[in-house]
Structure 1
Amino acid sequence: MTYCVGLRLNRGLVMMSDTRTNAGVDNISVFKKMFTWEAEGERSITLMTAGNLATTQALVSLLSERAKPVEERGAPSILVAPSMFQIARLIGATLREVIADQSGQSGQEADSPFAATLILAGQVRGSDPRLFMIYPEGNFVEASKDTPFFQIGETKYGKPILVRAYDPEMSFEDAVKLLMLSFDSTIKANLSVDLPLDLHLYETDTFRHGQLRRIERGDPYFEMISSSWGEALREAFQSLPPYSLD
């Protein structure tokens, strides 16, 4: 399992993903799930993946191969598609292609063992930053004012804090703090999600990657956030009036 979140803010886009793919007493693997492409001054693209590892690795390899210089590629590229919408269409079609190749079938189902779900974020010069969720079938939906963030993977434990605390006006610093709380809740509830975490902050109209950072196990700020949040929840619980049995 995995956990990835993309937030759309007025200031830009914030993306975070974990790196655990297998979980068990003696079977833990770490794989990157956040991938970026850039044509500085023209576009920045971030993709986060959840699902079958062979599918997602093949997808990213194909996208990277096709993003090579024109003379080296033989298929449409996410680095030349004219808009984020067209990039989402291209990635969705490539995902269908990879799943069909993996499964040996022309159709895909969301519950297929070869399925994968993606979060696509970025900006192409001439349009606003955009955020999409792409499904195994290759179709997709875009974030909006009503749905300003997307989650994939193990979503249920980290969603309540996002719903309650998200604000499109928040700073990048507060957004990172919010995502850390969401990931901390998920990590504590599910063994299949864990650090290290990958983070990308993209600021509107920069058309280049922003801060790309890995939050390792033992990170002082993450540990402080985790322990302080636990204490704050206990204090809030104790401050509520008791239930009456009378």
Structure 2
Amino acid sequence: MTYCVGMLVEEGLAMIADTRTNAGVDNISSYRKLHVIDRPGDRVLGVCTAGNLSVTQTALAMIRDGVHLNVGEEPETLETAPTLFRCAQLLGHALRSVRQSIGPALEADSLNTSASMLLGGQIAGGEMGLFLIYSQGNFIECGRDTPHLQIGELKYGKPILESGLAYDTPLAEAVKLGLISFSTTMRCNVGVGAPFDMLTLKRDYLSGDVRRIEEDDPYFTDLHDQWTRAQAHARRQMPAPPWMTGPRLAASRG
């Protein structure tokens, strides 16, 4: 299992992916799930992957070699596609093709072939965007009303993003919320773990920042501790259920 999140706000884009793969409690390893194409001045693209590792790796290799979307057309890659929408089409085509090619053999051995991807970034002359691409090759685009998309083990971090993230949230605040969602997910699922890879990109500034966050990263550790204390403090400040306090409770005990 893995967890990846993309957040598209007014100021820019942040994408975060963990590196853990889990094929049973005795077979846990790390693979990069965030793949970045950074050509300053031309395009910055991030692709996060979740699901069957052989399917996603084969699909990415197919994209690097070039994909023919239509008969007679020149092969295209993420480096040559003219728009972000076209990049989403290429990734969707590759995912669908790989599953059709190797899926039956894997499914014959009862292996799950489902996979999904997040694509985010900006190409010169186009708008910044964020897409969720499904195994079947179709995709959806992130919108202002819900400025985030997730794949993988998403249920534990979703409440953090739903309650705190808005389109006008500053990019630095979005990164903070994203990392808190990872901290929460790590607590609940051993299949998600550090290190995390992160891409941040400001809108119309075609040069991204890519970094790796280790489990003992000072900022991440402090953020985790402060969030834990803040939750405990907020809980203590909330009133107790009225039917469990006061004279009526004392009388029922008597």
- TM-score, structure 2 as length reference: 0.87
> What secondary structure is seen at the aligned counterpart in 2 of 1:90?
helix
TM-fit CA distance, 1:25: 4.6
| Residue 22 (structure 1) aligns with | 22
State the Cα distance separating 1:99 from its structure 2 match. 1.0
User: 2 CA distance for matches of 1:75 and 1:27?
Assistant: 37
State whether residues 5 and 16 of structure 2, in contact with CA within 8 Å, keep that contact through their aligned partners in structure 1.
yes
**Aligned ranges for residues 207-222 of structure 1 at < 5 Å?**
207-208=206-207, 210-222=208-220
Matches of 1:10 and 1:242 in 2, distance apart? 39
Unmatched 5+ residue regions in structure 1? 68-73
Alignment of 1:91-240 (within 5 A): 91-104=91-104, 113-208=112-207, 210-240=208-238
- Superposition deviation, residue 234 in structure 1: 0.8
For residue 238 of structure 1, what is the amino acid of its counterpart?
Answer: R
Aligned residue pairs total 235
1:137 to partner: Cα distance? 0.3
**Maintained 8 Å contact 1:23/1:192:** no
Aligned ranges 1:82-93 → 2 under 5 Å = 82-93=82-93
Mark the CA change 1:55 to 1:229 in structure 2 (over 3 Å): closer, same or farther: same
- Residue 78 of structure 2 aligns with which residue? 78
Q: Given residue 135 of structure 2, which amino acid in structure 1 is its aligned partner?
A: P
**What amino acid is aligned across from residue 237 of structure 2 in structure 1?**
S
Q: How far 1:84 sits from its partner (Å)?
A: 0.7
Q: Is the 8 A contact 2:92 2:134 kept in 1?
A: yes
CA deviation after TM superposition for structure 1 residue 64, in Å? 2.2
The CA distance in 2 between the partners of 1:175 and 1:103, in whole Å, is 37
1:24 CA drift (Å): 5.2
- 1:170 CA displacement: 2.7
Q: Deviation per CA, 1:8-62, whole angstroms, max 9, x where unpaired?
A: 0111110001111116553220010000123331211110000001001111222
Cα shift at 1:104:
4.0
Q: Sequence identity of aligned pairs in percent?
A: 39
Query: Partner amino acid for 1:134?
Result: I
19-28 or 50-59, which deviates more: 19-28
CA distance in 1, matches of 2:64, 2:98: 14
Q: Which amino acid aligns with 2:45?
A: I
8 Å Cα contact 2:147/2:166 also seen in 1: no
Output one character per residue of 1:111-144: Cα deviation in whole Å (capped at 9) or x when no partner.
9811111100011112110100000000000011
Per the alignment, residue 10 of structure 2 pairs with 10
- Aligned equivalents of 2:126, 2:75: Cα separation in 1: 24
CA offsets, 1:47-89, max 9 Å, x none?
Answer: 000000100111122222339xxxxxx7222222221111111
1:156 deviation in Å? 0.7
Deviation per CA, 1:197-227: give whole Å up to 9, x if none: 101001111223x110000121111111111
Alignment match, 2:34: 34
Which residue identity is paired with 1:96?
A: R
Structure 2 portions without partners, runs of 5+: 68-73, 249-254
Distance 1:41 1:207 in 2: 5
Distance, in Å, in 1 between the alignment partners of 2:241 and 2:114 is 46
Partner of 1:45: 45
Q: 1-side partners of 2:122 and 2:172: how far apart?
A: 21
- TM-score, normalising length from structure 1? 0.90
2: CA distance between counterparts of 1:175 and 1:54? 31
